[in-house]
Amino acid sequence: MCGLLACTLAVGAAQAAPRQTERSKQKAQAEAQRAGIQQKLNALKKDISRTESEKEDAADELAESEEAISNANRSLRELADEQAATNAKLQDLGTQQARLAQTIAAQKQQLAKLLREQYVAGNEDRIKLLLSGDNPNRINRDLQLMAYVSQAQAKLLDSLRTNLAAVEANQAETQNAKDELEEIAQEQRDQKAVLEKEKAKHAALVANLSSKLVSQRKEANKLEQDAQRMSGLVDRLTRLIREQEIAAEKERKRQQELAAARAKAALEAKARALARAKAQQAERERLAREAAKAGKPYKPPPPVKEEEPRVAEQPAETKPARSADTALAADLPSGTFESLRGRLMAPISGTVAARFGAKRADGPAWKGMFIKAPEGTDVRAIGPGRIVHAAWMRGWGNMIIVNHGGEYLSIYGFNETLLKHVGDSVKAGEVIASAGSTGGNGESGLYFELRHLGKPIDPAGWVKF
């Protein structure tokens, strides 16, 4: 028994080998999924570029550095969130490890006590006891006691093995979390270096282009082109979203039909089983009566097991992954956004400097609102929806667009940082960007626009400013 205990408690040390962390695998999967969505949007942007004359724009020279600064800031924010979550996970794992250690220590003491008591009792085996010629009642009692002790030892050993395996799993998970923290720390160092480099590059570009940017901002023709570019993007996005929402609706209906077919098959199978059980019971009763009349013993036949029907090739719990063909669909019940009219939260805390319909220099009227705010101020989604655009655009800088369903879009421009990816689902009030002055805009803040069916509408009747 002592040898068995020693074997049970022995835990071999696994040799460390370079391996990919779970975080790296999940990150690679997310990037692969986003690549498919981005491919569709890149084709859309190329289509817009072909429809306008490529006149040189001073702000275009800022595009690369402004996008790089946005990406670096977003990465740093995501890494900080990951770091906090991983540290919390490490704390939980440490607590679990301490509990397991206490349980194992108590089980070892209990097992040692059982072995000691068995040794003191003489460690008689069952054959010796049966051949001892002692009182049968005492022999029976002792055999039962030995059986109880053996069962207790077996249960204790099984529980100990389970806990030791849990300790190994906990240690592996803890090591994975530590590896992930090291990955995060390295990525943070890399992103901070990129951010400092791009900020210096951007500052130098702005200084060199300052006078040119000021003069171009006042050109009516340029403002008109910016407005047309926005409308072109929104029109194309609206068509793409419409196609994707139709595809998503078809998929939803297909899943509902599968679920209904499974439910129907389950009910039919239950009804058949009940009918069969009643028929079998009636048959048993008939055979029993006949056997009783003939004065013969009755042996009931074994019950027949009915096979469950197979409805579809995929399990009921399987939820289809969101593909690039449905990634932009809002996935909200019809009328959700309209029901929030007049109660939508403001996208940013700041001062409204330009309202919908107001004249913009010598160019077209504002089709949205400009809200002054310090650089880095949180920009929040006004309502639930899905990100359908998150990229730099001439005239609007780092811009993010949210699809709220029902062909309603909210647009957020001039951002310093875009914190979400295309295809991400967002809640009302969720931070999606930070305010800035990208795209050659002279003041820090947020350009906010609301559109329905591709046309701009006054946000004042929808949002509580």
pLDDT for the residue numbered 451: 96
Please, what is the angle between helix 22-50 and helix 220-294, to 10°? Answer: 130
3-state SS class at 299: coil
- Residue 465 gets which letter from DSSP? -
Burial of 372 by CB count in 10 Å (0-12 exposed, 13-18 middle, 19+ buried)? middle
- Residue 351 gets which letter from DSSP? E
pLDDT for the residue numbered 325: 67
Could you list the pLDDT tens digit for every one of the 465 residues in the chain?
444 444 444 444 344 445 667 666 666 666 665 565 556 556 655 655 554 444 455 567 777 778 888 888 888 888 788 888 888 888 888 888 888 888 888 878 877 877 776 666 555 555 555 555 555 565 555 556 556 666 767 777 788 788 788 878 888 888 887 887 788 778 878 888 877 788 777 777 767 766 665 665 556 577 788 888 899 899 989 988 888 888 888 888 898 999 999 999 999 999 998 988 888 888 888 877 777 777 777 666 665 555 544 444 444 444 445 566 667 888 888 889 999 999 999 999 999 999 999 987 667 889 999 999 999 999 999 999 999 999 999 889 999 999 999 999 999 999 999 999 998 999 999 999 999 999 878 789 999 999 999 999 999 999 987
Cα dihedral 259, 260, 261, 266 in deg (nearest 10) = 90
Which two structure tokens, joined as six digits, stand for 144?
């039962």
pLDDT for the residue numbered 11: 40
> What is the distance, to the nearest Å, from the Cα of residue 3 to the centroid of all Cα atoms in its chain?
48
pLDDT for the residue numbered 7: 46
| Cα distance between the two ends of the chain | 77
Burial of 42 by CB count in 10 Å (0-12 exposed, 13-18 middle, 19+ buried)? exposed
Question: Which neighbouring-strand residues pair with 464?
Answer: 345
CA geometry: angle 204, 66, 52, nearest 5 deg: 110
> Which of 236, 225, 223 lies closest to 45, judged by CA?
236
Specify whether the CB–CB gap between 332 and 385 falls below 8 A: yes
62 CB-near residues (< 8 Å, 6+ apart) = 202, 205, 206, 209, 438, 439, 440
> Which of 62, 78, 385, 59 lies closest to 223, judged by CA?
59
> pTM here?
0.61
Q: Compute how many other C-beta atoms are within 10 angstroms of the C-beta atom of residue 53.
A: 5
pLDDT for the residue numbered 116: 75
